Amino acid sequence: MALLDPKSLTVDCGRHARQGELVYRPKCLALRFPLIFDVPDDLPDTHHFWLRNLLIDAQNRWKLVRIGFRDKSSAAAVQAEVDLTGAPHGMLVGLIEVAVSALQAVVAWVVPPAEFLVEQASDIWALNVHDDINSRCRTLMKGGD
């Protein structure tokens, strides 16, 4: 904790805020932020499609950060984590700084749209557009355009 400003573990992104944590055990050193606390079991397929694509896009943008679903008791949650286990002690100051910056960026970028997808009713016609996107992408890829 001496290497980390406690304020850096709080990210405010509009009407949402997330509190990160430092995970420190004998064989584990990681920084972790919750992205979504509860993904409903009855989340509509279109919402799940866009949530999954949002998380994949975030994973591709921030390669240092691992993003994924985590089951906590009976509810699925989504979290972002940077695992620094095994990092050389002499490099920890710089690595922690980079890890915190990457996690803050992921939280600020993912949380608002992810919360929108999880909280909204299922009758949003614009979310059905993915069927058109998929068919157009397949056509372009097959034709070599």
Q: Which CATH class is domain 6-143?
A: alpha beta
Per residue of the chain (145 residues), give pLDDT as tens: 667 787 889 999 889 999 999 998 989 999 999 999 999 888 888 888 899 999 999 999 999 999 988 876 656 899 999 999 999 988 988 999 999 999 999 999 999 999 999 987 666 777 777 555 554 444 444 444 4
Task: Check: CB of residue 58 under 8 Å from CB of residue 47.
Answer: no
Task: Check: CB of residue 11 under 8 Å from CB of residue 17.
Answer: yes
Burial 117-133 (b: 16+ CB within 10 A, else e): bbeeeeeeeebeeeeee
